[in-house]
Structure 1
Amino acid sequence: MATHALHPRHPSPRPRARRRRVTLDEHLPVDHRLSTVYRFGAGLMGLVLLAFGILGLIDKVGFFDTRGDTVAGLNTNGALSVLSLCVGLLLFAGMVIGGNFASTLNMVLGIAFLLSGFVNLALLDTGLNVLAFRIQNVLFSFAVGLLLMVFGMYGRVSGNLPHDNPYWKARHPDRVRHAR
């Protein structure tokens, strides 16, 4: 019954191949063609958020006014406008820096927008809705989150990356050496 506890396992004749762990850190190679996609995504979403934030601040709505005011079909107040400006500027910084930073920033902010959509969906019509969200804001948050995630993951996360992709090369160094 418990013979496996008494006898140590015999080492296998073939040592196990050590699997490399892939992370989305800065040490991954930078492909300039992919960096263009990351920069474009960050810049486009940053521009949309900056425009929304500026239009919201021009309206001079109260900072935490929960009834808000409509700007470009979305509800807003001063806090949401300032938050939109800050995130838009952060995305523009990602666009300027580019590379893996822009990709990771797009993915992180995309997840944050999705989570914000779910949280604010739960807070609709409550006294805790300090950003004056309405259902159109929730849908906008989901759309921006998904777009940012697509722009950030493009070329980095896939089951069928081409063999000249730098992320595929980083994940399969043994195959790259054999192909040379």
Structure 2
Amino acid sequence: MPHFPVNHPARPLYRAFAGLVGLYILIFGVWGVVQTWGEPLFDRGSDWVLGLRTNLAFSLASVVFGIVLLIGASRRSNLGHYMNLTAGVVFMVTGVAMMSVLQTDANFLNFSMSTVVVSMIFGLLLLATGLYDKVGPPEQAETERHQRSHLITRPR
């Protein structure tokens, strides 16, 4: 079973990071929708918003993801923990997938290399946030801290 710290002291800071990422993505998406409205959904034009290339499909997806991340960052339950872990993986996989088709017609989200880099950075940040954002009862957190400070070596 993976080890996720429960009630980590830096949890509010990590939630703030996830919220800022969500806010950036939401602003990027809304601005992108306004700029690309009326163009084909998967257009491969030269529309740039906040330093990233976009099209209408990518902008609409960004609006949805931004809202989801803001909802996750605003919750004080494990919902944000799971949402951030999932979003981190999605951003990392999307970044690698779109990098592999960057100069082809399969680049349906109109990514540029800067968009790939930002996607990877956001993915890593959301993964880190998800790793330290788990919530549990105080007893569980205390038991876990005690186990971490008194590691028992097991014979092999």
**TM-score class normalised by the smaller sequence:** 0.7 to 0.9
2:141 matched to which residue of 1?
A: 166
Unaligned runs of 5+ in 2: 151-156
Give yes or no for contact 1:35–1:100 (8 Å, CA) kept in 2.
no
Superposed structure 1 runs of 4+ greater than 6 Å apart? none
* Cα distance between partner residues in 1 of 2:33 and 2:146: 46
TM-score (norm 2): 0.78
Higher alpha-carbon Rg = 1
Give yes or no for contact 1:105–1:152 (8 Å, CA) kept in 2.
yes
* Cα distance between partner residues in 2 of 1:79 and 1:167: 46
1:65 positional shift: 0.4
1:59 is paired with a residue whose SS is helix
The CA RMSD over aligned residues, in Å, is 2.9
Cα deviation, 1:129-176, whole Å, max 9, x if unaligned, reads 1100111111111111111112221376xxxxxxx9828618949x6x
2:22 matched to which residue of 1?
A: 46
TM-score (norm 1): 0.68
Once the two structures are superposed, the pairs formed by residues 8-157 of structure 1 within 5 Å of their partners are 21-22=1-2, 31=7, 33-61=9-37, 62=39, 63-154=41-132
Cα deviation, 1:31-61, whole Å, max 9, x if unaligned, reads 3845423421221111010010011011135
Report the number of matched residues: 143
* Cα distance between partner residues in 2 of 1:35 and 1:47: 18
Unaligned runs of 5+ in 1: 1-20, 157-163, 176-180
Cα deviation, 1:39-86, whole Å, max 9, x if unaligned, reads 212211110100100110111352210124011111000000000000
